[in-house]
Chain A
């Protein structure tokens, strides 16, 4: 019975697109860090935190997306809530890469802005979905 379906279709689409976009984002940011280390003066003390943040974000993304899919499809609010919590962490790391990286190129700004807007939209849809599941 379709009318009693509580899973949110826009959230599902967004999660899927986010997964694909994140792979591109990770590879592009890694390539740009390598480019920056060759072209600019990038000492090891500054390179290490940037790389650590990028890899931490990649590690967080996998459970975040998995929990999001699972929570939305099984209409359970607990995984969705956990995913929302992980999203907050990802947002913080994304803001670091946008503002406090050693060199922020214009391409970095574009990629991170798109990712941040995707996270924001996702969070909104997740909150709505949780509200729908709970009530």
Chain B
């Protein structure tokens, strides 16, 4: 009884020895005790099976080709013979290079490393190392031991380069993200100047939600970033509270730290999203860090929640405006638009910010025009879009306010006046901006339209004409003309009690008006040879 555990333990401790005999190795032998088709090295195949093959899928099996001489098993089919038979040859393959390996005394160099087999003794150590969701090849370089780390000098400036992990007192600024599966891993460091947005799932339980660190605001702001000279604390920029049905409210005071707690069977103040904004100088020093939170409530039935994280970097004293192309527009990026500020006679340039984008009405699930206030989608270059809603007209509605409301619904709060012709047009280059031409079309041309009939807008069509500009091999898209056409129709007075539903549509169409390209060639070089005038001196 004392002997029997030992042989099994000894067997379990080492993995089976790898097969190195080339005559016995067969990569295409996948079916056990059956013949694989076109596998000439399969030992389960008989001579009858070989006669049915067409080629050999594995023609040669060799060891490491860098050795000077090694055994090779060569399989081929002799199709001349009747029936076709398999030829198996064991040859010595010679590497003619003078730098071939004659002998290698380091055995592991030529073979893959065999993994450790878990035994009762090393199981805990292996579980520690490999049991988590992630493990990397150099475990010591990432886990900075706080005791071993020497604190930075007061004069040491922390300059970050692109992609370098943003360091904090303990380790790195964390941006939880999904690694292998969708579950959040807290070991993802944020890279400097790398704008990231991640979404991942975290498992929660409402009973002990105040003890889960990742649900509390403190977890995300209690570390201070190491920057030049002093450390930068992460401030709370804003807090948005999301209710269970998805409605978000911005809190007016954001300096009170709201920690998760259990209330009425719900866990409130749980972090659903964090948005980091880091401000840096142009030499790579971080000067400010702020975090905007989205807090929400978790109900009892929820076993997991989705958290979203984002980090963005801005240079100080700049207001970044994302380009839509450089220089031509890129398909899928928003069309940039702006206003001509009221200045006389030469204002400084266009004002183009987020609120003056070219947008169209976005269809909602209720399809009610009057309830769709505010939902707009940006116009993306190259994407023709159409959207709409339904308007229910009752007899009690007055014409003028209805027309104005519909115009607001179609055009939005601030319809821009100019559109950038290139994706990277600067606000101060006045000639790079194209004015939007506004047209009004009346649907019903009745001769006596000048009567007090009511015209309400029912359709907005934006047509963007663009052309290819620049070189033949790399044409850039350039917007040449933008026309916004409002179509109005007459609203007939309804008898009281009746109501009518009319559809309201808005559309964007991109038309390519490039003229066909004319390749132009450079002129052939002419050879102008003129001898100096006294070349034939003294004969002439």
- Tell me if A104 and B104 are in contact (CB < 8 A): yes
Query: How far apart are A37's CB and chain B's nearest CB, in angstroms?
Result: 12
The residues of A that contact B103 with a CB separation of less than 8 Å are 99, 103-104
- Tell me if A100 and B99 are in contact (CB < 8 A): no
The residues of A that contact B68 with a CB separation of less than 8 Å are 106
Q: Determine the distance from Cα of A46 to Cα of B100 in the docked complex, in whole angstroms.
A: 19
Q: Determine the distance from Cα of A110 to Cα of B449 in the docked complex, in whole angstroms.
A: 106
Query: How far apart are B527's CB and chain A's nearest CB, in angstroms?
Result: 53
Interface residues of A in 63-112 (CB under 8 A from B): 99-110
The residues of A that contact B46 with a CB separation of less than 8 Å are none
Q: Determine the distance from Cα of A41 to Cα of B109 in the docked complex, in whole angstroms.
A: 6
The residues of A that contact B97 with a CB separation of less than 8 Å are 106
B102: Cβ under 8 A from any A Cβ: yes
- Tell me if B105 and A102 are in contact (CB < 8 A): yes
- Tell me if A105 and B98 are in contact (CB < 8 A): yes
B101: Cβ under 8 A from any A Cβ: yes
Count of B interface residues, CB-CB < 8 Å? 13
- Tell me if B100 and A106 are in contact (CB < 8 A): yes
Query: How far apart are B42's CB and chain A's nearest CB, in angstroms?
Result: 33
Q: Which residues of A contact B (CB under 8 A)?
A: 32, 35, 40-43, 46, 99-110
Q: Determine the distance from Cα of A81 to Cα of B99 in the docked complex, in whole angstroms.
A: 37
- Tell me if A40 and B100 are in contact (CB < 8 A): no
- Tell me if B109 and A107 are in contact (CB < 8 A): no
Q: Determine the distance from Cα of A117 to Cα of B102 in the docked complex, in whole angstroms.
A: 19
Option from A41, A42, A100, A105 in Cβ contact (under 8 Å) with B102: A105
The residues of B that contact A41 with a CB separation of less than 8 Å are 106, 108-109
- Tell me if A102 and B104 are in contact (CB < 8 A): yes
Query: How far apart are B92's CB and chain A's nearest CB, in angstroms?
Result: 15
- Tell me if A102 and B101 are in contact (CB < 8 A): no
Query: How far apart are A51's CB and chain B's nearest CB, in angstroms?
Result: 15
Nearest CB to that of B96 among chain A residues? A106
Query: How far apart are B101's CB and chain A's nearest CB, in angstroms?
Result: 6
Given A41-B109, A104-B104, 7 more A-B residue pairs with CB atoms under 8 Å apart are A40-B101, A42-B109, A46-B106, A104-B101, A105-B99, A105-B100, A106-B100
Query: How far apart are A106's CB and chain B's nearest CB, in angstroms?
Result: 5
The residues of A that contact B104 with a CB separation of less than 8 Å are 102-104
Option from B102, B106, B108, B109 in Cβ contact (under 8 Å) with A106: B102
Instruction: Fill in one digit per residue for B60-95: 1 if any A CB lies within 8 Å of its CB, else 0.
Output: 000000001000000000000000000000000000
Instruction: Fill in one digit per residue for B96-127: 1 if any A CB lies within 8 Å of its CB, else 0.
Output: 01111111111011000000000000000000
Most chain A CB within 10 A, of B97, B98, B100, B103, is at B103
The residues of A that contact B101 with a CB separation of less than 8 Å are 40, 103-105
The residues of B that contact A100 with a CB separation of less than 8 Å are 105
Query: How far apart are A103's CB and chain B's nearest CB, in angstroms?
Result: 5
- Tell me if B105 and A106 are in contact (CB < 8 A): no
- Tell me if B105 and A101 are in contact (CB < 8 A): yes
